[in-house]
Amino acid sequence: MPGRRPVRSAVAAAALIAVTSVAAACGGGDDADEPTASVTPPTATETAPPSPSPTEQGFQADIKRVTREDLPHSWRRGCPVPPSGLRMIEMTYWGMDDRPHTGGRLVVNAKAAEDLVGVFRKLFDIRYPIERMEPVDKYRGSDFDSIEANNTSAFNCRRATGSSAFSQHAYGLAIDINPCQNPYVYPDGRIAHKDCTKYRNRDRNDPGMIHAGDEVVDAFESIGWGWGGEWTGAKDYQHFSSNGR
């Protein structure tokens, strides 16, 4: 319908003007004496929705396929899940600086990817802060170095701590969150990362700490994943997994 073209152009032009006005209003600090407080709030019958809050507009996640080349250190022949059974979730996360961050990357089992996006959406919505979120390949597959960086990660084809069996991480079915604030504590109380030993005290309430029954534990519980903070003997406060181990 060629007759509609001018109308579309007019709408587009109006939209452009509107965008420009908004940009000018946001960018300038000189309009501080404008009576913004007296602006009439939009009524429910108007079509334009109110501006979304940062949390509402913020969370985004993409689930992408991975290849062997994406996992140079974390995957090798003999691992229980092939790269084709894994996915990279690229997502926003709430940072320790109390701001949204883009570009978080988490490698997980393909079967769990959708559920985990739902979990991380919840964590974002409650503004649960995460220090960083990078594949362990950034640390050449070293779990120790990843923890030293307080990195949140999932897939790593490695043995369970103190065991010859594959960890749930080797299946992409376990996630470690803020491993410094939520350390692995040996039965004798030892923590392998010196700077994190103060978090042995679980009565603390620092940002990023996970506690029994809180919203982080609840979010994972809602997809059937268990928490290492509930283990007897060693405690793994950073660790969530599909089978609870």
Handedness of CA 40, 41, 44, 45 (dihedral sign): positive
Nearer to Zn ion, 101 or 239 (CB): 239
Nearer to Zn ion, 58 or 143 (CB): 143
Strands 239-241 and 226-227: antiparallel
Burial class of residue 100 (count of CB atoms within 10 Å of its CB; 0-12, 13-18, 19+): middle
For the record, the structure tokens of 34 come out as: 């404008």
Smallest distance, Å, CB 143 to Zn ion?
A: 8
Binding site for Zn ion (CB under 5 A): 174, 176, 239
Number of H helices, E strands in the chain: 5, 10
How far apart CA 144 and CA 136 sit, in angstroms, is 10
Nearer to Zn ion, 92 or 153 (CB): 153
Nearer to Zn ion, 92 or 176 (CB): 176
Nearer to Zn ion, 59 or 108 (CB): 108
How far apart CA 167 and CA 165 sit, in angstroms, is 6
Smallest distance, Å, CB 167 to Zn ion?
A: 7
Residue 151 β-bridge partners: 132
How far apart CA 111 and CA 233 sit, in angstroms, is 30
Smallest distance, Å, CB 169 to Zn ion?
A: 6
How far apart CA 151 and CA 148 sit, in angstroms, is 8
For the record, the structure tokens of 199 come out as: 């978090």
The one-letter amino acid at 148 = E
Nearer to Zn ion, 131 or 176 (CB): 176
Smallest distance, Å, CB 236 to Zn ion?
A: 6
Smallest distance, Å, CB 66 to Zn ion?
A: 20
Which residue is nearest to Zn ion, using beta carbons?
A: 239
Smallest distance, Å, CB 109 to Zn ion?
A: 14
